[in-house]
């Protein structure tokens, strides 16, 4: 899609010497790198900045929350009220039916939920980039085989596979869930990277690199990939958002994180049974945490889409 017709934007830090020389002449006016330009564009996107701020805050909560406000799901204080206590100053988000503080649940759940979303995104990004790059660069039967695999992933409803994989191989472990979510969500990235490669491998600067005898691997990773990275990063934000939601659903069904740990999905696991008692806060607040986090990630993704597209100008 984004064929860099403008060589000033084609070169990232890792651009080939020929490109850098050319780029230096033309960018001299501003002397900003592509990433600096992208950051300038990103800053103009107000919702993206709000999203980034909130997301950074959530990362802090995920790291420090469990230290400041420890929560042990096996510690059951009990209540005098069968529906649990509604939100109050003592319990900001109320309590569940057995008296556990929902606010502490949300704060502690952030760590596992964000970790699963983030790390599975990295795994998916890595596999997707490698598969897509190999398919797009080599083409032919390699491409054909890899793309049929990708088609297969797209045809099987993801949730079906994830439920089975989480139940049978997850064992309630965070690490295994990260691997499962990562290994199952890369095809989107692979397809994107491949499409970028198909258009970029015919580009003049790749032709030039090939002409001076640069090896395949180096062309792939130093010349083509930096130019294809924009849409990939955007897609990765989408995958992180959707994996946070998927984790929540899988854990809500008790197939995900084991009951003695806390994630946002886990916090929701038995909340449905309390709705009939009038306890809405137990279901509401962990879900809001998911929704707001996912929304902020989506806003960041939207900002990145504009910022990383070399065709958008300031």
Angle between helices 34-44 and 46-68 (to 10 degrees): 90
- Interface stretch with another protein, choices 64-72, 98-106, 186-194, 289-297 (CB under 8 A): 289-297
Which one, 59 or 253, has the nearer CB to another protein?
A: 253
Minimum Å gap between C-beta 184 and another protein is: 11
Q: To which residue do tokens 């084991």 refer?
A: 258
Give the footprint of another protein on residues 210-249 (CB under 8 A). Answer: 241, 245, 248-249
Question: What is the contact mask toward another protein in residues 255 to 284, using x (rule: CB under 8 A)?
Answer: x------------x--xx--xx-x-x--xx
Question: What is the contact mask toward another protein in residues 108 to 147, using x (rule: CB under 8 A)?
Answer: ----------------------------------------
Q: Give SS3 for 235.
A: helix
Minimum Å gap between C-beta 155 and another protein is: 5
Cβ-contact 16, 222 below 8 angstroms: yes
149 interacts with another protein by CB under 8 A: yes
* 63-78 as b/e: b if 16+ CB within 10 A: eebbeeeebebeeeee
Q: Report the C-alpha gap between 141 and 130 in whole angstroms.
A: 16
Q: How many residues does the chain have?
A: 314
- Interface stretch with another protein, choices 24-32, 56-64, 127-135, 162-170 (CB under 8 A): 162-170
Sequence-ordered list of residues with C-beta below 8 angstroms from that of 54, at least 6 positions apart, any chain: 292, 293, 296
Q: Report the C-alpha gap between 181 and 219 in whole angstroms.
A: 30
Distances (CA, A) of 56 to 6, 76, 124, 230, 281: 34, 32, 22, 21, 25
- Interface stretch with another protein, choices 23-31, 63-71, 92-100, 149-157 (CB under 8 A): 149-157
Which one, 9 or 294, has the nearer CB to another protein?
A: 294
> Exactly one of 253, 270, 306, 309 binds another protein (CB under 8 A); which one?
253
* Secondary element (H or E) of residue 55: helix 46-68
Judged by the rule CB under 8 A, the positions of this chain that interact with another protein are 148-149, 151-152, 154-161, 163-165, 167-169, 241, 245, 248-249, 252-253, 255, 268, 271-272, 275-276, 278, 280, 283-284, 287, 290-292, 294-295, 298-299
């Amino acid at each position: 899609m984004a064929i860099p017709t403008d060589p000033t934007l084609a070169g990232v830090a890792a651009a080939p010497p020929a490109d850098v020389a050319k780029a230096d002449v033309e960018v001299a006016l501003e002397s900003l790198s592509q990433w600096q330009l992208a950051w300038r564009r990103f800053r103009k996107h107000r919702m993206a900045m709000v999203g980034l701020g909130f997301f950074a805050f959530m990362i802090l909560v995920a790291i420090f929350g469990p230290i400041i406000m420890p929560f042990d799901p096996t510690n059951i204080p009990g209540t005098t009220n069968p529906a649990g206590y509604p939100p109050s100053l003592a319990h900001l988000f109320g309590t569940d039916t057995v008296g556990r503080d929902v606010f502490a649940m949300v704060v502690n759940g952030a760590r596992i939920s964000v970790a699963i979303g983030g790390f599975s995104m990295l795994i998916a990004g890595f596999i997707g980039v490698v598969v897509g790059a190999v398919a797009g660069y080599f083409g032919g039967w390699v491409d054909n085989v890899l793309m049929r695999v990708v088609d297969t992933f797209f045809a099987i409803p993801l949730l079906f596979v994830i439920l089975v994989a989480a139940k049978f191989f997850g064992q309630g472990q965070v690490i295994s869930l990260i691997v499962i979510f990562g290994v199952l969500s890369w095809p989107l990235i692979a397809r994107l990277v491949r499409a970028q490669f198909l258009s970029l491998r015919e580009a003049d600067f790749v032709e030039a690199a090939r002409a001076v005898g640069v090896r395949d691997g180096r062309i792939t990773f130093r010349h083509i990939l930096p130019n294809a990275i924009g849409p990939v990063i955007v897609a990765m934000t989408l995958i992180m958002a959707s994996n946070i939601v998927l984790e929540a659903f899988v854990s809500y069904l008790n197939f995900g994180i084991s009951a003695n740990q806390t994630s946002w999905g886990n916090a929701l696991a038995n909340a449905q049974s309390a709705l009939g008692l009038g306890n809405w806060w137990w279901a509401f607040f962990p879900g809001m945490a998911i929704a707001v986090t996912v929304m902020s990630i989506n806003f960041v993704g939207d900002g990145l889409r504009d910022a990383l597209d070399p065709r958008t100008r300031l």
